């Protein structure tokens, strides 16, 4: 394939991303690609499509023994606390410190609960009894940190869940949704994502009631969806919280 | 999974792979827990039996551990990167094997062992899997067969042409049309390609 023309590249690119070239063809194709970096993006996109095939096989559960073997081999190679590792941990330290997340979550929790408290006061007109109620809510409150990724990287978010199943999603530093898009909350129950409200962050922090009350909810997630929301999630979650995990408070 | 510190569960894959690149085995363990099922499912589909699939997964994750520093987020998700390592390793092994079974045999052996997971990530990935399977169902059988022979069984395009008694140009054309049809499936439904 030396001196391969553009037509030859076009002819072989599908076989390349499927892994169906011979070793010699593959080397020559990659040599062409190295000399034409402008083609890289096209191949990566095609490769992403071919890579979807990896998700199609029936699911198989790997054995616990395999996990033990893999991790034992990895740990046997771990050096005794390298400096690079410590430096990186320092850089990521703010994320790794549970107190950071707990503090951010607590601040947002207080903000959310104050709003809630005000509503309760108006409804019942008895500040003392409502404060008592609120104290009870706080005692029954559980906060679950959300893992952020993609566009939400850098945001802090938590799900606050009351004993009665009511939930509030709090988040800070979420970027605005792209034009024509919205943030959508999903509650996962019995393995099925249920739409649980739309929101658009305005300002640094946002507290949104989750519109599905699910005592047996397994997780809460947020995706970016077309304006108006979707019946089923159409993109990967950018915030995820597993409600089966231990609460932060 | 109890040996993974809880704080790692809050980190994105990209953070975990950065920590793994710096030698953090706990971060790598968390990545293993998130993606080993997808990796093993692919390995089992390619190798057709448990022991070979486990060996492939073990070698692939060890390779990922050693080359974690080479991961580049702009090239795709950590999951895709890991699955590519498994796929490439599987192709190598299939091609070096003295004898290999036909894809149909492996497909029959690969009975579903799916277990419902409580984890949201798994649920989400299941949704993505369903979308991918639906997309593949939309392909004409002759296109799907060629994609599967290439991707899962390690046959080169020339070998597929010989195996099926087709001109090489037909095999290439079906590969092209098959991949295009998968993309069209997602585009037509305004679905983002699973990352």
- Report ipTM for this prediction: 0.79
- Does residue B49 belong to any structural domain of this protein? yes
- Does residue A59 belong to any structural domain of this protein? no
For chain A, how many structural domains are there in total? 2
- Does residue B111 belong to any structural domain of this protein? no
Range of the domain at B45: 1-101
Q: What angle do CA A172, A177, A181 make, to 5 degrees?
A: 145
In A56-211, DSSP assigns E strands to: 142-145, 147-148, 156-161, 167-172, 181-189, 192-199, 205-210
- Does residue A87 belong to any structural domain of this protein? no
- Does residue A1 belong to any structural domain of this protein? no
For an interface test with B, the pick among A53, A91, A146 (most B C-beta atoms closer than 10 Å) comes out as A53
Q: Are residues A35 and A104 in the same domain?
A: no
Side by side, the strands of the sheet bearing A147-148 are A147-148, A239-242, A219-226, A181-189, A192-199
Q: Are residues A120 and A231 in the same domain?
A: yes
Is some CB atom of chain B closer than 8 A to the CB atom of A52? Answer: yes
Q: Are residues B20 and B79 in the same domain?
A: yes
Q: Are residues B96 and B1 in the same domain?
A: yes
Structure confidence at residue B150 (pLDDT):
94
Is some CB atom of chain B closer than 8 A to the CB atom of A178? Answer: no
- Does residue B108 belong to any structural domain of this protein? no
- Does residue B109 belong to any structural domain of this protein? no
Q: Are residues B131 and B93 in the same domain?
A: no
Chain B, 43 to 72: residues with Cβ < 8 Å from chain A are 44-45, 53-54, 57-58, 61-62, 65-66
- Does residue A76 belong to any structural domain of this protein? no
Please report residues of B whose CB lies closer than 8 A to that of A184.
none
Q: Are residues B87 and B57 in the same domain?
A: yes
As a three-state string, the secondary structure of B56-101 is HHHHHHHHHHHCHHHCCHHHCCHHHHHHHHHHHHHHHHHHHCCCCC
Mean pLDDT of all residues in A206-225: 82
pLDDT digits (tens, 9 = 90+) for B60-100: 999 999 999 999 887 788 998 999 999 999 998 888 864 44
- Does residue A160 belong to any structural domain of this protein? yes
Q: CATH number, domain at B182?
A: 1.10.10.10
- Does residue A23 belong to any structural domain of this protein? yes
Q: Are residues A47 and A162 in the same domain?
A: no
- pLDDT confidence bin for B130, thresholds 50/70/90: confident
- Does residue A150 belong to any structural domain of this protein? yes
Q: Are residues B91 and B162 in the same domain?
A: no
Q: Are residues A44 and A114 in the same domain?
A: no
Q: Are residues A131 and A204 in the same domain?
A: yes
Q: How many CB atoms lie within 10 A of CB B111?
A: 10
Query: Given an 8 Å threshold on Cβ–Cβ distance, is A20 in contact with B175?
Result: yes
Structure confidence at residue B113 (pLDDT):
34
pLDDT digits (tens, 9 = 90+) for A58-116: 888 999 999 999 999 999 877 544 444 454 455 444 444 555 555 555 555 565 566 55
Q: Are residues B72 and B135 in the same domain?
A: no
- Does residue B27 belong to any structural domain of this protein? yes
Distance CA B21, CA A159 (A): 31
Residue in the block written with tokens 């939400």: A152
Range of the domain at A41: 6-53
Q: Which residue did the predictor score with more confidence, B176 or B107?
A: B176
Is some CB atom of chain B closer than 8 A to the CB atom of A226? Answer: yes
pLDDT digits (tens, 9 = 90+) for A108-164: 556 556 655 555 555 555 545 544 554 555 556 778 888 887 788 788 888 888 777
CA A128 to each of CA A119, A122, A132, A135: distance values in angstroms, whole numbers, following the listed order: 14, 12, 6, 11
Helical residues (DSSP H) of chain B, grouped into ranges: 13-21, 25-47, 50-66, 78-96, 103-109, 120-137, 141-151, 157-164, 168-188
Query: Given an 8 Å threshold on Cβ–Cβ distance, is A74 in contact with B28?
Result: yes
- pLDDT confidence bin for B116, thresholds 50/70/90: very low
A170: left (phi over 0), alpha (psi -120 to 50) or beta: beta
Query: Given an 8 Å threshold on Cβ–Cβ distance, is B116 in contact with A191?
Result: yes
Is some CB atom of chain B closer than 8 A to the CB atom of A103? Answer: no
Structure confidence at residue A112 (pLDDT):
59
For chain B, how many structural domains are there in total? 2
- Does residue B140 belong to any structural domain of this protein? yes
Are A177 and A226 within 8 A, CB to CB?
A: no
pTM of the shown model: 0.59
- Does residue A90 belong to any structural domain of this protein? no
Residue in the block written with tokens 């993606």: B35
Question: Which one of A69, A82, A219 has the shortest CB-CB distance to B22?
Answer: A82
Q: Are residues A147 and A224 in the same domain?
A: yes
Q: Which residue did the predictor score with more confidence, A180 or B193?
A: A180
- Does residue B45 belong to any structural domain of this protein? yes
């Amino acid at each position: 394939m030396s001196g391969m023309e553009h037509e030859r590249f076009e002819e072989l690119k599908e076989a390349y991303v499927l892994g169906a070239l011979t070793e010699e063809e593959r080397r020559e194709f990659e040599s062409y690609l190295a000399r034409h970096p402008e083609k890289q993006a096209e191949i990566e996109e095609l490769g992403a499509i071919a890579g979807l095939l990896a998700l199609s096989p029936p699911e198989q559960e790997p054995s616990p023994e395999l996990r033990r073997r893999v991790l034992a081999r990895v740990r046997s190679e771990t050096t005794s606390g390298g400096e690079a590792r410590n430096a990186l941990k320092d850089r990521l330290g703010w994320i790794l410190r549970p107190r950071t997340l707990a503090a951010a979550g607590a601040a947002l929790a207080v903000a959310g609960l104050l709003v809630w408290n005000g509503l309760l006061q108006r409804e019942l007109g008895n500040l003392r009894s409502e404060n008592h109620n609120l104290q009870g809510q706080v005692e029954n409150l559980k906060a679950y940190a959300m893992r952020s990724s993609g566009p939400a990287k850098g945001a802090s978010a938590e799900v606050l869940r009351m004993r009665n199943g009511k939930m509030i999603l709090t988040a800070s530093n979420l970027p605005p949704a792209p034009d024509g898009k919205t943030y959508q909350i999903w509650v996962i129950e019995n393995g099925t994502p249920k739409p649980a409200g739309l929101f658009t962050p305005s300002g640094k922090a946002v507290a949104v009631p989750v519109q599905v009350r699910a005592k047996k909810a397994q997780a809460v997630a947020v995706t970016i969806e077309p304006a108006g929301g979707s019946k089923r999630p159409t993109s990967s979650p950018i915030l995820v919280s597993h409600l089966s995990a231990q609460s932060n408070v | 999974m109890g040996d993974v510190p809880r704080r790692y569960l809050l980190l994105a894959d990209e953070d975990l792979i950065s920590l793994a690149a710096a030698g953090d085995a706990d971060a790598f363990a968390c990545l293993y827990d998130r993606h080993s099922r997808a990796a093993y499912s692919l390995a089992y589909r390619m190798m057709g039996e448990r022991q070979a699939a486990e060996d492939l997964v073990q070698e692939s994750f060890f390779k990922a551990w050693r080359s974690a520093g080479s991961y580049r987020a702009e090239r795709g998700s950590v999951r895709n990167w890991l699955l590519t390592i498994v796929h490439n390793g599987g192709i190598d092994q299939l091609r070096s094997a003295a004898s290999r079974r036909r894809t149909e045999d492996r497909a029959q052996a690969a009975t579903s062992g799916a277990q419902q997971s409580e984890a949201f990530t798994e649920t989400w990935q299941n949704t993505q899997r369903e979308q991918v399977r639906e997309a593949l169902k939309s392909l004409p059988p002759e296109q799907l067969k060629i994609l599967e022979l290439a991707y899962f069984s390690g046959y080169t395009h020339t070998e597929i042409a010989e195996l099926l008694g087709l001109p090489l140009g037909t095999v290439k054309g079906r590969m092209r049309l098959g991949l295009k049809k998968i993309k069209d499936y997602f585009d037509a439904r305004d679905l983002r390609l699973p990352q």
